[in-house]
Amino acid sequence: MQLTLALASFGVLDGLTTLTIVLLIVGLVLIVVEFFIPGFGIAGGLGIVCWIAAIILTAKTMRDALILGGCLALIAAALVWLFVLLGAHGKLPKKLVLSDSTDKAEGFSSAVDYSGLLGKRGAATTALRPAGKARIDGEIYDVVSPGEFLAKDTVVEVAEVEGIRIVVRKTS
């Protein structure tokens, strides 16, 4: 209410027409839709374009345009603050929050598990300086030595596996 009175006292609301009110409301709806639909910012961008068009059609002076633009920026900031606050307290609708997890216990993995190679032997197919390639169980893998140079065709054993990093040591 006070915002309306403040805007009216500056004469900003004098230029409001049905078209500008529709543009303001459509802009607000598009900006809110942007929060709920994953995308490239198309809805939010169109909402901002609607607001800019409403400002251009409403404002008689640059001062009016700045006042109206500032008010719309405050509305947008309040919306962002509201959604952040709701999200922090877990009060967003369940459709907006991902509740499924993809953990290892359920069979999901983001990388290949090389832990089965531990203790297996193979041969370096390139020189390891300290990184290179080795053939283990008929497959070629990117491997690293623990800092030492190993020549091509050196017999190696998998000593450690950390994620996709396979560490091999020279065997005798």
> Is 126 in a helix, a strand, or coil?
coil
Q: Which of 12-26, 79-93, 152-166 has the lowest mean pLDDT?
A: 79-93
- The letter for the amino acid at 117 is L
Concatenated DSSP letters for 61-108?
SHHHHHHHHHHHHHHHHHHHHHHHHHHHTT-S-GGGS------GGGT-
Question: Global pTM?
Answer: 0.48
Q: What's the pLDDT at 75? A: 87
β-bridge partners, 165: 162
**% of the chain with per-residue pLDDT over 90:** 37
Is residue 3 packed enough to be buried (19+ CB in 10 Å), middle (13-18) or exposed (0-12)?
A: exposed
Higher-scoring residue by pLDDT: 78, 5: 78
- Residue where the block lists tokens 């008010």: 71
Domain ranges of the chain: 2-96, 115-170
Higher-scoring residue by pLDDT: 123, 37: 123
Token representation of residue 18: 């049905």
Write the CATH number of the domain with boundaries 115-170. 2.40.50.140
